[in-house]
Structure 1
Amino acid sequence: MTRKIPTVDFTLALSSNEDERNEFVQQVGDALQDIGFFALVNHGIDTALIMDAYAQCDRFFELEETVKRSYLLPEIAHQRGYTAFGVEHAKDNPAPDLKEFWQTGRAYPNDGPTPSYPQNVWPNQHAPDFRGVIDRLYIDMEKLSKQLLEACSLYLDMPAEWLPGMAEQGNTIMRMIHYPPLEPSMPEGAVRSAAHEDINFITLLVTATADGLEVMDHDGSWIQVNGDEKAIIVDSGDMLQNLTNGLFRSVTHRVVNPKDSTSRRYSMPMFVHPRNEVDLTPHADFVAKTGGTAKYQSIKAGDYLQQRLREIGLI
């Protein structure tokens, strides 16, 4: 029987009981070490805000193609603004993914040095409420991501601020994805999102508006992740796998095409990234815990990101 991804209750993290807080850390770490995915319930993100964000996405993606394309930014590898249908593909899979999306990140500070991450753009003229709603959701999601990174750090016997400190002022991105109805003319082998692993530290996926997400289990079988508006799906990415020498797993997942070709799907993942200068060389402690040999490359986070953006067609 195919198993399900684990469920972790965020109320444990907020408990006044130390044993319950420790249990939260244990459950998060065990899930990421085993299957690399878990469903976070009672996460505290306002459901009404999530629904409002989906409504704003619907309004934007219904705009004329020429209007949406006016927000294309290929010169920054599509790291902000709009990315058109069929541009991105999975690593080692030339068939384009059947999706379009918008990406936003942390707002620029009012003073101090210019950050290394790109500046946000907004469709204010064509979707005047989009910015306010999406920015509020981004802020709440990033706060939650820090708490999850603290749990990961403690599980790894490191200080709580170890991973959050690396992600402070990093190029964390929230992506609003639209999977439109399938066209008969779609390229052969194209799927909504081909099998891939995430690039970053961790991903927080606001539950999609329809099923389709599948996670590969140890034996190569696929675990179906059912849609649940009460859960946020969390997974660990390549950068965290690299840093921990594979102690935390970056697991293959995909979004399959629906049986009903006329249906559409929205999802909103947040990809939590360290700063560009962070060294992802496998840490000696985790090399020792995983056989004594470094299994992954020595590379800075910014270089790793550029490398992967080329591999998936955004550069």
Structure 2
Amino acid sequence: MTAQTIPVLNLQAFKAGSDSRAHFVTALGEALRDTGFFAVTQHGVNSELIRSAYQAAQAFFELPEVVKRKYERPELNGQRGFTRFGREHAKDHPVPDLKEFWHVGREDSTVYPANLWPNEISTFQVTLSELYRQLEGCAQALLAACSLYLEESQNFLPALAEEGNSILRIIHYPSIPPDAHPLSLRAAPHEDINLLTLLCEATEEGLELLQRDGSWLAIPALPGQIIVDAGDMLQQLTNGLLKSTTHRVTNPTGLRERRFSMPFFIHPRPEVDLTPLPQCVAATGGQAKFPQITAGQYLEKRLREIGLAPQI
């Protein structure tokens, strides 16, 4: 069996209490300080639900292009519904990524745009809504552990993300087109925008993280594991104590098979202040490395940089 290349943590250890809980908190913090990545098992997200979500995703992405584009709303800056192939690019990368995707946001919200749902796929809404709910439950537990590592109350980060602008992204990486640009990748090197990302086991390999020596480390997609990484918002809030690590999705060699993945991006509410925490400033040299900015302002800036929002 393929071995995981990043630390593997069991979420039930955090819920067990006492010594197991303390060990989990330390291991999580050290992983986010070192590489910004770890894998979590016993996470509470139903494996059958993940498989059903991938089946619903495949059914949608196999629809004719004209049907899929009925659910594309440019005015929403790609934050709900369908985003066509080749629209998004990594920050500062000259060519688009080789992917198309669908975004699911928080349901029953008066703050964020309403979700779009494809009428053609009967299982899509109920399956993806439940997956969103289960992933958010897992994320709240991980944020609680991260809060304790930062010497805050365990409710600190979960409170920032409560009713936050979190997004479930369902990605389809089609077979590589024969006329693809030589510089194009399924996902060019980038860092995530948000607090934490939870990545359900992808259907094919390809995820790699950039190590400190400049080499790329492959992260296998293993059954029962969710890959977790820190985003730029968490890095900013901790003044760089916790790392938002560059990662990519490579193109396949040999067979040009397609790939599906489902990252869940945990966002705080738009009004949350991302000014670095004093204890993190003290732990990283005593000088704030990042400016004062709200989560909403940060997201708007990054959406423009990756091509989903129009330039001002």
Identify whether the pair has TM-score above 0.5, normalized to the shorter chain. Answer: yes
For residues 102-117 of structure 1, what are the structure 2 equivalents within 5 Å? Answer: 102-109=102-109, 114-115=110-111, 117=112
Amino acid of the structure 2 residue aligned with 1:19: D
Residue 32 in structure 1 maps to residue 27 in structure 2? no
For residues 117-136 of structure 1, what are the structure 2 equivalents within 5 Å? Answer: 117-123=112-118, 125-136=119-130
Residue 313 in structure 1 maps to residue 289 in structure 2? no
Match of 2:75 in 1: 75
CA offset at residue 241 of structure 1? 0.4
CA offset at residue 46 of structure 1? 0.9
- TM-score between the two structures when normalised by the length of structure 1: 0.95
Match of 2:22 in 1: 22
Residue 256 in structure 1 maps to residue 257 in structure 2? no
Residue 210 in structure 1 maps to residue 204 in structure 2? yes
For residues 235-314 of structure 1, what are the structure 2 equivalents within 5 Å? Answer: 235-314=229-308
Aligned-pair identity in percent equals: 51
User: Could you list the per-position Cα deviations for residues 216-262 of structure 1 after superposition, in whole angstroms to 9, with x for gaps in the alignment?
Assistant: 11111111001102100000000000010001100000000000353
CA contact under 8 A between 1:167 and 1:274: conserved in structure 2?
Answer: yes
Task: Supply the distance in 2 between the matched residues of 1:54 and 1:48 (Cα, whole angstroms).
Answer: 10
- TM-score between the two structures when normalised by the length of structure 2: 0.96
CA offset at residue 118 of structure 1? 1.8
Which secondary structure state, in structure 2, belongs to the residue aligned with residue 75 of structure 1? helix
Match of 1:13 in 2: 14
CA offset at residue 76 of structure 1? 1.1
CA offset at residue 274 of structure 1? 0.3
Match of 2:215 in 1: 221
Task: Supply the distance in 1 between the matched residues of 2:42 and 2:73 (Cα, whole angstroms).
Answer: 36
Residue 190 in structure 1 maps to residue 184 in structure 2? yes
Task: Supply the distance in 1 between the matched residues of 2:33 and 2:48 (Cα, whole angstroms).
Answer: 32
Which secondary structure state, in structure 1, belongs to the residue aligned with residue 27 of structure 2? helix
- Counterpart of 1:164 (choices 158, 167, 171) is 158
Which secondary structure state, in structure 2, belongs to the residue aligned with residue 27 of structure 1? helix
Match of 2:50 in 1: 50
CA offset at residue 77 of structure 1? 0.4
Which secondary structure state, in structure 1, belongs to the residue aligned with residue 15 of structure 2? coil
Which secondary structure state, in structure 1, belongs to the residue aligned with residue 198 of structure 2? strand
User: Could you list the per-position Cα deviations for residues 34-93 of structure 1 after superposition, in whole angstroms to 9, with x for gaps in the alignment?
Assistant: 100001112121111100000000000000000001100110101000000000000000
Task: Supply the distance in 2 between the matched residues of 1:14 and 1:154 (Cα, whole angstroms).
Answer: 13
CA contact under 8 A between 2:5 and 2:220: conserved in structure 1?
Answer: no
Which secondary structure state, in structure 2, belongs to the residue aligned with residue 235 of structure 1? strand
Match of 2:64 in 1: 64
> 4+ residue runs of structure 1 moved beyond 3 angstroms?
none
